[in-house]
Amino acid sequence: MGEPGVPALSLTLDHPARVAGLALVCPGVTGYEGLASPELTAEIGRLAQAGDMDGPVALGLRTWAAAGTGDDPAAAAQLRSAIPAWFTDFPHEVPGAPAFDGLGELAVPCVLLLGEHDQPEVVRCNEEMAARVPGCRLVRLPGSDHTPTLREPEAVARPVLELSARAGTSDRSRDRSSG
């Protein structure tokens, strides 16, 4: 399964002038050792090959939506809506270029939100990512797992809107200084 954040990070590293700010919500990143679980990847592959539509929901609720209750219809619905893409994309995934070591090159305003109840590997990765990105604001979401937009939507929106306002101000400053 693809890692959230990878396309945004790749674009920002490859074309920094096209990005005014970067909001990362529980992201993954290529080139970080220990983020992907071979067992989890194998289980997702097995479920995808079997065409099992319920197994990935149960797996996702245990793995990525652990902050919810055992019966979590909103998280289950979100996972269920993603499953067709998993099954379609899984056999064709191509790993992106490693980005973790290049995070220190990012020169745009950045906020990284991490769910405190996310997988320990993701939390560790997110902490290390934020430490590498110059000036990155790390926002810890104590009531969230890997689905913070479900768990704490206002807590996600606030720093993203603040970043957007800050990035918009930097763009206007750059426009004035170059004109």
The overall average pLDDT reported for the chain is 86
- pTM of this prediction? 0.83
pLDDT, tens digit, for every residue of 121-163? Answer: 999 999 999 999 999 999 999 999 999 999 999 999 999 999 9
Question: Sorting pLDDT into bands at 50, 70 and 90, what band is 103?
Answer: very high
Higher pLDDT, 171 or 30: 30
Q: What's the pLDDT score for residue 1? A: 45
Instruction: Name the packing angle between helices 38-50 and 55-63 (round to 10°).
Output: 160
Is residue 179's pLDDT more than 50? no
Of 149, 108, 125, which Cα lies nearest the Cα of 21? Answer: 108
Give the whole-angstrom CA distance, residue 78 versus residue 68: 13
What would the mean pLDDT of 165-177 be, rounded to a whole number? 63
Tokens read off for 155: 């807590």
H helices present in 51-152, as ranges: 55-63, 73-89, 120-132, 148-151
